Each structure stands twice: as C-alpha cells, then as structure tokens.
Amino acid sequence: MKILVGMSGGVDSSVTALLLKQQGHEVIGATMAIWGDRGVKEQLKDKLPKRHGACFGPDEKEDIEGARKIAEEIGIPFYVFDCAKQYEEIVLDNFKKEYLSGHTPNPCIWCNSLIKFDVLPRLAKANGIDFDKFATGHYARVEQDGDRYILKRGINPKKDQSYFLYRLKQEQLSKIYLPLGDKTKEEIREIAAKCGLSVAEKPDSQDFYYGDYNELLGVEEKEGNIVDINGKILGTHKGIWNYTIGQRKGVGISSTEPLYVLELRKDTNEVVIGPKDKTMKDVLKASDLNWIIEPAEKTFTAQAKIRSTQQPVGVTATVEGNELTVKFDDMQKSIAIGQSVVLYNDDLVLGGGIITEVL
C-alpha cells in the first residue's frame, strides 16, 4: 500500500513512518510549512531557544530539516508543502476572533480536521503524489464498522489524542491510518532508540505557539476592570484576552484566599474573579456539532471530556438540532466557552461540539 505520512520532526510521526516502512508499505513523508514569512520579533530572539518545541513558531525550519533527516534515515522520499495561507485563514483567524471575544479556543482541533487531515493530503494529491492512505502519529484508532468508519481512544489513557480528532468526517476517516493507537509512548521511544532514530529522546511539543499569544493577536492594550462576582472593582487589566477561565496565577489581585478567573465579559470589558467553588459548574451547551456516530435518541447517557488531558466522565446529553446540552454527573472545574466537549461511549468517540454557554 502507498501511504503518505504527515511528519513533524517528532518521535511519534517518525516512528509511524518507520513502522509502516518495516511492514512493507511504500511510504512517503510530508511536512506542512505553516509559519510563512512572519520572521521573529527582535526582542524575542534571545528567548527563542527556551521556547523551542511548539507546533507553530519561527523554529519551523529546524523541525522541517529534522523531519527531512529522519526521512533520509528511514529511506523514504520527503516533501514539504506550504500551508501557511490556509493556516492563517482557518486556524489563526479563528484563534484571534475567539480570544478577542473572551473565549478560549483550541487551535489544535481546527488544525487537525481542516489542515493536517485535509489541506496537507489534498496538496500532496494536487502535486502528483499518489497514495492510498494518509497516516499520522496520533494516539487514537480508526476502524471500519460495516459501512461506517469509527474513531476510538488510544489504548494508553495518558496519551490518548482522540479528543483532537472528533471533528473528522467519514471521508477523512476512511482514508487515514493511525498505527500508534494501540501503543504507548514508552514503546514508541524504545522503538526509535532501538532503530537508532535521532529523535528518540526529543521532547514533545507543549503548546501550539512558542511565544506570547499577544504576538499573534496584534491588538493594542484595552484597559478594563477586574471585578468580583458582585461587580465590586478589585483592579484593572490590559485586555480580557490575557486571561483564561480557571486561571489563578498572574491575576494580580491580593486576597486572603486564592482567586480564579470565572468569566470574561467582552461587552463590558471585565474580568470576573472569585473563589475556587465558583469555578465549578455541571451544565454546558455546545453547537457546531460533528457526529462520528449519530445519536439514536434525543437524550442519552455517555461520557465526556472538556479538555484533552481529562479522563471521560459521566454525563447525560440532549441533542436538539445543532445544539447539544450536557449535564455532568459531577461538578466540573473551569468549563471554558470556545473549547470543545467530546462525547464517548467507553472507547468509542461519538462526536462533540464547541462550548457556547456554561450554566
């Protein structure tokens, strides 16, 4: 089988390409260039080495050359495709819009469904590269069930990445291959070391951007008030986009008890803070839904995640058109508008949507 592998220069995608080559497939490596001609701000150049390892940053050329080196070590052809324009229009524009609205977006989810599993393989096809499947180093599983393709959690709960893939469509699922879904990170590093790959000990990416998010937002400071739940002014801020729901450190308000960011109000330009118990909620609404498995009933029980690192917890979900209401069995901390809620039936990914309201 001819398989195109999306390679980032990290250990996961590198071992993916290696394993497929060892299995006898005709493997082709491909990397997407997304940084474009942004350059690096002068005042950040000295800080760059400390921030290496993000998915999006000016060290992209180094990562691309790392991926190229791995492809040479494995003995497969390697291509680089310029996806910067699409990344700007799809991922970064959404990122800016959401943050400036006081929401907390997840750019990795948009990148996976609309860039990595869409733009990249389409560009490869358009440039004459023939392949049967597109593979990545994600820790998740794709299987065929009758005439449908299903998505399952990776077997290692600490490394499962199915949360980031819930927006994939049937056409995409039918064409992808995820060989690491039944393996652990430790196994992958052992394989890389045993085979002498130079990335065996390379650290994982920690964030989507290497620097301060303000560098991407490109807006002037907008001073407003920091208030408590009763509206009492406690201090000032320089832009609601500098805060995230549930944030404790860096709020800048002295108190006898820890204070957390509870709400970001775009209309009044206020940051609302309060004690830990006020961060706990148990109902959310979501829209812009994507279903891998359509619910058979309007109301059903399932498990859900509201962040990638969370283990699924029990919920009751109700679907009405393109709106989803999720009632958690137990209170959840810091549910953030703009993030995704993903529903599961044990290991099976049902689907999910973008959180629009917290009740």
Domain boundary among 211, 243, 274: 274
Give yes or no: residues 79 and 133 share one domain: yes
Cα 326–Cα 327–Cα 332 angle in degrees, nearest 5? 100
Give yes or no: residues 288 and 268 share one domain: no
Cα 339 from chain centroid? Answer: 10
Find the domain containing 352 and state its range: 279-358
Give yes or no: residues 23 and 93 share one domain: yes
Give yes or no: residues 176 and 85 share one domain: yes
Residue 195 is classified by DSSP as T
Give yes or no: residues 299 and 244 share one domain: no
206: in domain: no
Residue-level pLDDT, tens digit, the chain, 359 residues: 999 999 999 999 999 999 999 999 999 999 999 998 775 554 444 444 444 567 888 888 888 999 999 999 999 999 999 999 999 999 999 999 999 999 999 999 999 999 999 999 999 999 999 999 999 999 999 999 999 999 999 999 889 999 999 999 999 999 999 999 999 999 999 999 999 998 888 888 767 887 788 888 989 999 999 999 999 999 999 999 999 999 999 898 988 899 999 999 999 999 999 999 999 999 999 999 999 999 999 999 999 999 999 999 999 999 999 999 999 999 999 999 999 999 999 999 999 999 999 99
Q: How far is CA 332 from CA 229, 311, 329, in A?
A: 19, 12, 9
The pTM for the full model equals: 0.93
Q: Do 199 and 70 touch, CB atoms closer than 8 A?
A: yes
Domain count for the chain, please give it: 3
Give yes or no: residues 45 and 108 share one domain: yes
209: in domain: no
Give the CB-side neighbour count of residue 3, counting CA atoms within 13 A. 24
Give yes or no: residues 23 and 139 share one domain: yes
Give yes or no: residues 165 and 190 share one domain: yes
What CATH number is associated with residue 260? 2.30.30.280
What are the E-state strand segments in the chain? Answer: 2-6, 26-33, 78-82, 133-135, 140-145, 148-153, 176-177, 224-227, 233-237, 260-265, 270-274, 280-291, 299-305, 313-320, 323-333, 340-345, 348-358
Q: Do 189 and 200 touch, CB atoms closer than 8 A?
A: yes
